[in-house]
Amino acid sequence: MRHQPARPSLFLALALSTAACRDSAGPVTTLAIAGAPDFSAVVTSTTYHEFFAPSGSWVSQYEVWVAISPSDTANAGVVVGAARPVFTSTDGVLQRVTAGAITEGDAIQVWRDPTIAYGSAQAPPGAPAYHGMQVVIIRSRR
């Protein structure tokens, strides 16, 4: 059997040159949940909470009050777990961020589970609270 030390080096050089030729903007990010969002809204406030759940597990979540059009005041709440997928979309380019990036005044798109709660502290009085499964914050370069 012949020894061919150049073959692994050649493969490594080819892999590195291919990676170097890719778009320098970084990896392309895709949504965790495909399809259209359940609704779009404007964030009116966001609050971070940590607590022990009745099951004994530690919970970190953001309670986001939103105004769903045509309302311009908070008319729903969205509970976004700290580990849920959140993205920013700046001029159509997605970037993964944390739920802490959601701020007052942001336009957001929300994918939610079927759970709806009324009378919960996570929503304005009498308004529904939803469990956000994915959130996209819509931004544009200024």
Q: What are the helix (H) ranges across 21-140?
A: none
26 lies in some domain: no
CB atoms closer than 10 angstroms to residue 80: 28
23 lies in some domain: no
30-98-35 Cα angle (round to 5): 35
34 lies in some domain: no
Dist. CA 49–CA 100, nearest whole Å: 11
Q: What is the pLDDT of residues 58-96, one digit of tens each?
A: 889 999 999 999 999 999 999 999 899 999 999 889 999
87 lies in some domain: yes
3 lies in some domain: no
CB atoms closer than 10 angstroms to residue 59: 14
63 lies in some domain: yes
Q: What is the pLDDT of residues 106-132, one digit of tens each?
A: 999 999 999 999 999 999 999 999 999
Q: Which two tokens stand for residue 118?
A: 């009324």
**Residue 51: which domain range?**
39-139
Q: Which CATH number covers residue 86? A: 2.40.50
Beta-strand runs (E) in 38-106? 39-52, 58-67, 76-81, 86-90, 93-97
Q: How many domains does the chain have?
A: 1
